[in-house]
Amino acid sequence: GQNIDQPTEMTATEGAIVQINCTYQTSGFNGLFWYQQHAGEAPTFLSYNVLDGLEEKGRFSSFLSRSKGYSYLLLKELQMKDSASYLCAVLILTGGGNKLTFGTGTQLKVEL
């Protein structure tokens, strides 16, 4: 089976930097996604990592270590609108194709 772990809640200050960690144990690993989800809305794509290393996209960066089963999402220059749930998801290659399995999400609260 698959096991994906991330913290349930985090709080950070506007303008600061926050790192959201995700660990996973799975077979057939074929990449890791990060999504942002505001309450009552659909998840929106943030990043995808399949190779080890750091991917940077504006204020958001994502890191992957396949050997350690570890990823993090780094958010810089936090804004109030960044208050949302951040979802870590692992892409798993099976005999039937690629399936995407999610962790339970990290609720980030950005305070003044």
Partner 1 sequence: DAGITQSPRHKVTETGTPVTLRCHQTENHRYMYWYRQDPGHGLRLIHYSYGVKDTDKGEVSDGYSVSRSKTEDFLLTLESATSSQTSVYFCAISESPGRVGNTIYFGEGSWLTVV
Residues that bind partner 1 (CB under 8 A): 30-31, 33, 35, 41-45, 48, 50, 87, 89, 91, 93-94, 96-105
CB of 99 to partner 1, least distance (A): 6
Q: Which is nearer to partner 1, 57 or 112 (CB)?
A: 57
Q: Which is nearer to partner 1, 45 or 67 (CB)?
A: 45
Our measurement of the distance from residue 41's CA atom to the centroid of its chain's CA atoms, rounded to an integer in Å, reads 17
Residues listed for the chain? 112
Name the nearest CA neighbour of 76 among 16, 6, 10, 14.
16
CB of 14 to partner 1, least distance (A): 26
CB of 75 to partner 1, least distance (A): 19
Q: Which is nearer to partner 1, 8 or 112 (CB)?
A: 8
**Rg over CA atoms, the chain:** 14
CB-based contact 20:106 (threshold 8 Å): yes
- The bridge status of strand 106-111 relative to strand 9-13 is parallel
CB of 85 to partner 1, least distance (A): 9
